[in-house]
Amino acid sequence: MASQKMVLFGYLMVAAALLIGATADTHTVGNSLGWTVPPAGSVAYKTWAGTRDFAAGDTVVFQWSNTHTVAQVNQSGYDACSATNAIGEIHTSSPYNFTIASTDPYYFICSIDNHCKLGMKVKIQAGAASSLNASAFFTILVALATYFSSLV
């Protein structure tokens, strides 16, 4: 009986480790389109971002060819297509990887010529539910593991 409880305890710990490792995803901006002036305007990146379930810890990959940049800006810079007050450096080499750190919105534009005004901009926002669910599940696993280990 005690060995069965230890096996169950082991399975719970493996499940928790797999859950923690599996929570971070990688998202390539625009999928196969990549980071470029979208043929349909800004709707392309709005649609792409709207179909993603971003979470804190995920990586967003900007890949491009030709002459483009990635500038992180605030909302007013995004709305005005201005990188004048860019947050951090303007990235000029592809690919650029960005790790989502919070559920705050992140705004990115291309600072080359009129690329942003032609739709080369994207808003990324992680949802709170994904990390909360993983956290809650992990807490339950730890509680179960503690319970079963006390029976041994």
Task: Give the model's confidence band at 130: pLDDT under 50 very low, under 70 low, under 90 confident, else very high.
Answer: very low
**100 close to 106: Cβ distance less than 8 angstroms:** yes
As a whole number of angstroms, the distance between CA 1 and CA 91 comes to: 59
Give the mean pLDDT of 136-143: 63
pLDDT of residue 114: 97
pLDDT, one tens digit per residue, over 18-37 is 555 456 899 999 999 999 99
pLDDT of residue 56: 92
Residue 121: name the closest of 50, 66, 76, 70 by CA. Answer: 70
pLDDT, one tens digit per residue, over 48-105 is 999 999 999 999 999 999 999 999 999 999 999 999 999 999 999 999 999 999 999 9
As a whole number of angstroms, the distance between CA 137 and CA 142 comes to: 9
pLDDT of residue 132: 45
As a whole number of angstroms, the distance between CA 66 and CA 54 comes to: 27
pLDDT of residue 118: 98
**69 close to 112: Cβ distance less than 8 angstroms:** yes
pLDDT of residue 24: 84
pLDDT of residue 131: 43
2-151 CATH choice from 2.40.50.100, 2.60.40.420, 3.60.40.10, 3.20.20.80: 2.60.40.420
Delimit the domains of the chain by residue range.
2-151
Higher pLDDT pick, 109 / 22? 109
